[in-house]
Amino acid sequence: MNFKRVVAAALGVAFAFILTATSAFASQKTDVVAAVHQYFDNLDKDKLQMSLAVCDSNVSILDEFPPHVWQGATACADWFKEWDVYNQKNGITDPVAVLGTPWSVDVNGDRAYLVAPATYAYKQHGKPVKELHSVFTVALRRVDAGWRITAWSWSKH
């Protein structure tokens, strides 16, 4: 038996395993980011069902407007309704939120955690307002259908 061939074969197998594991891990991170974008980028009355499809069966939300906390099976839909009411009450129109490149995406088995910068621009009583330096933080879990949001928070600087 040629020792060099055995070592070369073992190193080849190990290298292939590392590449496969690294590739699978990168793919998981990509899938987490895609799920968060599906939620975040579709927070609009016309596309809301696409957004709600990514919410888990039990969600917790923290946000800057009252009542500040939403929990349970309908938390995502309840938050959206309250956001709409808050905007109408405060003369807010033309909201546009943009999620930046995530600062971190951690995947641990069937759980994930994402932190990303965000901006939020809108008009309040006709005057433009832009919130810079906001942060969107999300916890997710993987189910058979894909990644689902279990919690999120929005914080502005």
CA distance 84 to 82: 5
C-alpha distances out from residue 149 to 51, 58, 117, Å = 10, 9, 17
Terminal alpha carbon distance of the chain: 66
pLDDT score of 157: 84
Residue-wise pLDDT tens digits, 62-81: 999 999 999 999 999 999 99
Tell me which architecture the domain covering 3-155 has in CATH.
Roll (3.10)
| Nearest residue to 114 via CA among 147, 89, 84, 157 | 147
Q: Which of 115, 102, 109, 138 is nearest to 28 (CA)?
A: 109
Predicted TM-score (pTM) of the model is 0.82
Q: Average pLDDT of each block of 10 consecutive residues along the chain (157 residues)?
A: 52 44 66 96 92 96 97 97 97 96 97 97 97 95 97 94
